[in-house]
Amino acid sequence: MTADHWFEPVAEHLGAAYLRYSFTKGTVQEVDALVEHLDLRPGMRVLDVGCGPGRHAHELTRRGLVVHGIDISARFVELARAGAPAGATFERADARRWRGDGSFDAAISLCQGAFGLLRADGEDETVLAAMTAAVRPGHGRVAVSAFSAYFSVRYQTEADFDADAGIAHEHTEVRSETGAVLPVELWTGCYTPRELRLLAERVGLRVDALWSVEPGAYRPAPPTIESPEFLLLATRI
């Protein structure tokens, strides 16, 4: 698979330094919430879409789940495989083209993974539809975190917000494991709760809950304009 996504060179430069960012430090709490509210039990199969270096997949596997992670970044997949617990597998794959077989008990895409880093019209729906198709009809669960459009407009004052596309565009810098600096552009898809519900319904999901959350604080809370993210929890119809 050739590089065809803007995030690949960013991930290649970051490498393991990605795990130094503060937003990655809430993994255990986030997995606690997913296990409880998706009713995940040992032996169940989970698909992690846009798994990055595998932090959620590793933690879920430690709870006895069987996890398969996919990510477009070869470097992140390499890191995810390194030291992965038994029961966790990883594959370099493009979530826009990946096709499941309805055998998973749950599919997740967290922390602006594959779902949140798409720019072209309809790509987010394509990924959400693929996640839906990957889980068991009538029972499979889906969890997606998405950046809040309200929060972006109100607080991301250094980003250019495209009101038509709902995308925040930032110019920033990232540091490698050795501290080398790389200027980069980042594009983040931003959503309202209504948009997330409509997307879910279009791809055949029943929305079970939609919360305001932030990294390391996944808990039931009604949507507000103050939280940076929303967490969608749904079931395949």
Residue 29 lies in a domain: yes
The pLDDT value given to residue 195: 97
In a domain, 42, yes or no: yes
Does residue 122 sit within a domain?
yes
Report pLDDT for 117.
84
Indicate the number of domains in the chain: 1
CATH of the domain at 75: 3.40.50.150
pTM of the prediction? 0.95
108 lies in a domain? yes
Does 161 fall in a domain? Answer: no
Single-letter residue type at 122: G
Q: Which residues of the chain have pLDDT under 70?
A: 1-3
pLDDT value, residue 103: 96
Report if residue 179 sits inside a domain.
Answer: no
Residue 170 located in a structural domain: no
Residue 77 lies in a domain: yes
Task: Report how far apart, in Å, the C-alpha atoms of 9 and of each of 26, 120, 125, 187 are.
Answer: 25, 19, 24, 14
User: 46 lies in which domain range?
Assistant: 7-148+190-236
What does the alpha-carbon distance between residue 6 and residue 61 come to, in Å, rounded to a whole number? Answer: 29
- What is d(CA 214, CA 155) in angstroms, rounded to the nearest whole number? 14
Q: How many residues does this entry show for the chain?
A: 237
The whole-number pLDDT of residue 121 equals: 83
- pLDDT value at position 99? 87
DSSP per position, 89-139 = EEEE--TTT----S-BSEEEE-SS-GGGG--STTHHHHHHHHHHHHBPTTT
Triad 61, 67, 72: Cα angle to 5°: 125
